[in-house]
A = this chain, B = another copy of it.
Amino acid sequence: MAKGVNKVLLLGNVGKDPEIRSTAGGTIVASFSLATADRQKDQQGNWQDKTEWHNLVAFSRTAEIVRDYVKKGTQLYIEGKIQTRSWDDKESGQKKYKTEILVNELTLLGGAPGGRSEGGSGGYSKSSTASFDQRTPSSQPDYADQGITDDDIPF
């Protein structure tokens, strides 16, 4: 029986090809960003588009679905929970925080140019080595860097 509620619902487009890793214990981990577009009125009463970026993480079976079906541009509906991880930045000595959405459920909506029906055709690679999230500086909380073990997997 739940004691509280911590639920997030997002519908938007994936910013980059997901990054797939494994923990020492063999659990698959998928990380990716999702953009949600918002239409809101500005001070002048004009409608403005505003994009909010979210950091998402998925484990195990959900991570496999992400690995197999999700890429840059994919339109996605997800349900998850908010989690904030913290760590000590080695450089500055400051405590740092990263808020992520742990994805529990996921519905593919297609919608991407060259979308999921594309079949992995040329000029496209899932094993992108490009840095996934430029917002996070060098001292970012990488699961590996933090010596994440399977104790940290939330189930």
**Chain A interface (Cβ within 8 Å of chain B)?**
1-12, 35-43, 49, 52-54, 65, 69, 75, 77, 79, 81-84, 86, 92, 94-95, 97-99, 101, 105-111, 135-137, 139, 150-151, 154-155
Contacts and interface: CB of A to CB of B under 8 A. Distances in A.
A106 B85 CA distance: 26
Nearest to A138: B94
A107 B40 contact: no
Q: Chain A contact residues: over half helix, strand or loop, or mixed?
A: strand
A56 to B, nearest CB: 11
A77 B5 contact: yes
Nearest to A43: B151
B111 A110 contact: yes
Given A6-B10, A8-B82, A52-B84, A155 B40 contact: yes
A95 B137 contact: yes
B53 A84 contact: yes
Contacts of A135: 86, 95, 97
Contacts of A49: 3
Contacts of A137: 94-95
A8 to B, nearest CB: 5
A63 to B, nearest CB: 12
B4 A38 contact: yes
A120 to B, nearest CB: 18
